[in-house]
Amino acid sequence: MMKSQSGDAGRDVNLLTLSMFIRRIPMGFLNVVRPIYFTLLGFDPLTVGLITSIGLIISALDSALFGVLSDKYGRKPFLALGSFTSALRFMLYILSRDFWVLVIAQGIGALGEGVGAGQPVVSGYIADKIKDDVKRTRTFSLIAITNAIGSSLGSLLAMLPLYVQKAMGFSEIDSYVPLFWLGLILSLTSLSLIIFIREAQHDTFKNGKLPILQPSTLKEIMVYSMVRCTDGVAIQLVSSLAPLYFYLKFNVGPEDLAPIYAAARILPIPAYVIAPLFAVRFGYVKCLMATRAASGLLAFILPFIGDFNLASLNFIFYNFSIELSMPIRQSFATIIAGESSTGSLVGISNSLRSFVNSLAPAITGFFFQVAQLYMPFTLSSSLFILNMMQFHLIYGERRPVKASQKAVSQ
């Protein structure tokens, strides 16, 4: 019987992984083309930043709501909702170029972006299905690998508008529409896979009690949220409008950025394989501190590089440092408050983080508009260093220090 349950868990996690892989493809090309597409429509950098910020605000609301509700009612309905809203966003992109429709589309799409590997519903589902800490970290690493491959494929598809423009005679703006159709199809395919996964039941689902209401859990969530807010703003100051930065400084388009983004997601794959080993050997906190220090240094250097090729190489290594930390941080989050409240912990922390993060694209867009291209990167670097210090001061002397400790104590 236990073997059968283990097999069912493996099947469900595999289906979820495949669904996320497929949905990562359109997310991959959206990260590249969206800021440039909005600019081609006539929006200035500040407006592009504000549209991006609106998506983060909506993401803040759904992250908390989905996380808490999934702890109480189950993960599957919210996994399905994420794929559906992703499809709806692409439909709106296809139908309209009106500013307010695009704002609505960005808000709706933000609901779909809230079920990535480190997001509350997915983290909670994996915590429900896989109880062993080390195996869970390995699962997050596997998902990080498949997500990286999906994002890389999507990044390469950002070259499609140029091909459509040349081969089919589309205008520069119209050449993006086939890409949006592809995103719609892939999102619906992702949704169809979610239908076949099975819900994981635990005590929270049965008795309707939410661990988040316990004072100790609330305290843990608030502390973790503060730490996550710092690194979230640091990342968003650079990543949210990075394609627009390259477009403004080096006059390059999606076809030039596509291989850069693909490389930035593919290169960390070997590191995902060894990330669990580092977590066991050195502990979660030391690994996270090291990646934050590297990210801060690379973010600081980037705007002072005048050559596009060298700046691209720096950006690839910057993304490498960000991606390397993800499977370790995701598993770290599932341990802090225990399996049953994982969705609440990750959901509330992501919600507060997204509210704070929502300021970052607007700040970056403002600095881009006044031609202070280096300022977002300088601010980002400072926040990465602060985040490194937070991990050391708050979690350095606390559990969980190593991924193996809980298994050993059991």
Write b or e for each residue in 87-120: b if 16 or more Cβ atoms lie within 10 A of its Cβ, otherwise e.
bbbbbbbbeeeeeeebebbbbbbbbbbbbbbbbb
Q: Identify the pLDDT of residue 49.
A: 93
User: What pLDDT is attached to residue 285?
Assistant: 86
Rounded percentage of the chain residues whose pLDDT exceeds 90: 43
* Residue 219 one-letter amino acid: K
Q: What structural domains and CATH numbers belong to the chain?
A: 2-198+207-409 (1.20.1250.20)
**Tell me, what DSSP letter sits at residue 391?**
I
Burial label for 308, CB within 10 Å (0-12, 13-18, 19+), is middle
Q: What is the pTM assigned to this prediction?
A: 0.79
Confidence of residue 407 (pLDDT cuts 50, 70, 90): very low
Distance of CA 345 to the CA centre of its chain: 16
In angstroms, how far is the first alpha carbon of the chain from the final one?
A: 22
* 55 or 365, higher pLDDT: 365
CB 161 within 8 A of CB 175: yes
Residue 207 buriedness (CB in 10 A; 0-12 / 13-18 / 19+): exposed
| Whether pLDDT at 343 is above 70 | no
The answer to whether residues 5 and 69 touch, using CB atoms and an 8 Å cutoff, is no
User: What angle do the packed helices 177-194 and 160-168 form, to 10 degrees?
Assistant: 130
DSSP state of 201: P
Half-sphere exposure (CA, 13 Å, Cβ side) for 290? 13
**Which of 52-56, 68-72, 104-108 has the highest mean predicted lDDT (pLDDT)?**
104-108
Residue with tokens 């004072």: 215
Most confident of 247-251, 287-291, 318-322: 247-251
